[in-house]
Amino acid sequence: MQDGKGGGSLSLPLLELFPAGLRGRLEKLPQTLLLSLEEIRVREGRPLEIGFGGGSAFVCPQGKAVTDSADAYRPTREDCRALLERVTNHSLYAVEEELRRGYVTVAGGHRIGLAGRTVLEGGHVRHLRDVASFNIRIARARTGCAASLLPELLDPVARTVKHTLIVSAPQQGKTTLLRDLARAISAGQWYHPQAQRWGGRKVGVVDERSEIAACDRGVPAFDLGPRTDVLDACPKAEGLMMLVRSMSPEVVVADEIGRPEDAYALKEALHAGVRVVATAHALDLRDVFARPVLAELASEGMFGAYVLLSRSGGVVRHRVVGADEAEAEARKSSGCRSVPVIRSPNADGVRHA
Amino acid sequence: MLKLAGAALVLFAGTMIGFMQAAKFAQRPRQIRQLIHALQRLDTEIGYGQTPLPEALARIAAALTAPVSTLFAEASAKLASGNGETVSVCWEQAFKAGWQATSMRPPERDTMLRLGETLGGSGAEDQLKHLKLAMHQLQAEEQAARDDQQKYEKLCRSLGVLTAALVVILMM
Of A19, A85, A127, the CB nearest to B87: A85
List the CATH number of the domain containing A160.
Answer: 3.40.50.300
User: What was the pLDDT predicted at A208?
Assistant: 86
Residues A79 and A176 in one domain: no
**Which residues of chain B fall short of a pLDDT of 50?**
none
User: What was the pLDDT predicted at A346?
Assistant: 52
Q: Which residues of A touch B46 (CB under 8 A)?
A: 91, 93
Confidence of residue A168 (pLDDT cuts 50, 70, 90): confident
ipTM above 0.85, yes or no: no
- Please check whether residue A120 lies inside any domain of the structure: yes
**Domain coverage including residue A128:** 12-137
Residues A179 and A325 in one domain: yes
Quick check: A15 contacting B, CB < 8 Å?
A: no
B112 vs B34: CA distance, rounded Å: 13
Confidence of residue A202 (pLDDT cuts 50, 70, 90): very high
Q: How many CB atoms lie within 10 A of CB A66?
A: 15
Confidence of residue A251 (pLDDT cuts 50, 70, 90): very high
Of A18, A90, A96, the CB nearest to B120: A90
- Cα of A42 to nearest chain B Cα, Å: 16
Contact A256, A280 (CB under 8 A): yes
**Quick one: closest CA in A to B51, which residue?**
A94
- Please check whether residue A349 lies inside any domain of the structure: no
Q: Which residues of A touch B94 (CB under 8 A)?
A: none
Closest CA to B131 of B34, B43, B21: B43
CB within 8 Å of chain A, chain B residues 3-42: none
Average pLDDT, chain B: 87
Quick check: B51 contacting A, CB < 8 Å?
A: yes
Q: Which residues of A touch B84 (CB under 8 A)?
A: 16, 18-20, 23, 82, 86
User: Which of A93, A125, A126, A216 to substitute to test the interface with B, most B CBs within 10 Å?
Assistant: A93
Q: Is B86 exposed, middle or buried (0-12, 13-18, 19+ CB in 10 A)?
A: buried
Residues A191 and A291 in one domain: yes
Average pLDDT, chain A: 82
Confidence of residue A350 (pLDDT cuts 50, 70, 90): very low
**Quick one: closest CA in A to B47, which residue?**
A93
Residues A182 and A326 in one domain: yes
- Please check whether residue A5 lies inside any domain of the structure: no
Contact B122, A93 (CB under 8 A): yes
Q: Is A240 exposed, middle or buried (0-12, 13-18, 19+ CB in 10 A)?
A: buried
User: What was the pLDDT predicted at B154?
Assistant: 85
Residue extents of the structural domains in chain B:
2-171
Residues B50, A91: C-beta atoms closer than 8 Å: yes
Residues A124 and A155 in one domain: no
Q: Which residues of A touch B53 (CB under 8 A)?
A: 89-91
Mapped onto helix, strand or coil, the DSSP state of residue A58 is: strand
The tens digit of pLDDT for each residue in B159-168 reads 888 998 898 8
Contact A291, A177 (CB under 8 A): no
Picking from A116, A137, A158, the residue at the C-terminal end of a domain is A137
Q: Which residues of B touch A20 (CB under 8 A)?
A: 83-84
- Please check whether residue A261 lies inside any domain of the structure: yes
Residues A115 and A196 in one domain: no
- Please check whether residue A340 lies inside any domain of the structure: no
The tens digit of pLDDT for each residue in A300-332 reads 888 888 888 887 766 777 888 887 777 777 666
User: What was the pLDDT predicted at A342?
Assistant: 52
Number of structural domains (chain A) is 2
Quick check: B131 contacting A, CB < 8 Å?
A: no
Of B50, B83, B87, the CB nearest to A90: B87
Residues A127 and A179 in one domain: no
Residues A123 and A187 in one domain: no
Alpha helices in chain B (DSSP H): 2-44, 53-63, 68-80, 87-98, 106-118, 124-171
One-character DSSP codes across A97-108 = HHHHHTEEEETT
The tens digit of pLDDT for each residue in A142-166 reads 888 888 888 888 888 888 888 999 9
Q: Which residue has the higher pLDDT, A13 or B143?
A: B143
Residues A102 and A198 in one domain: no
Q: Angle, to 10 degrees, between the axis of helix A323-334 and the axis of helix A292-299?
A: 130
pLDDT of A11 > 50? The answer is no
Residues A90, B54: C-beta atoms closer than 8 Å: yes
Contact A53, A29 (CB under 8 A): no
Residues A82 and A46 in one domain: yes
pLDDT of A8 > 60? The answer is no
The tens digit of pLDDT for each residue in A94-148 reads 888 888 888 888 877 788 999 988 888 888 888 888 889 999 988 877 888 888 8
List the CATH number of the domain containing A124.
Answer: 3.30.450
Compute the average pLDDT of residues A7-28.
74
- Cα of B76 to nearest chain A Cα, Å: 11
Residues A86, B54: C-beta atoms closer than 8 Å: no
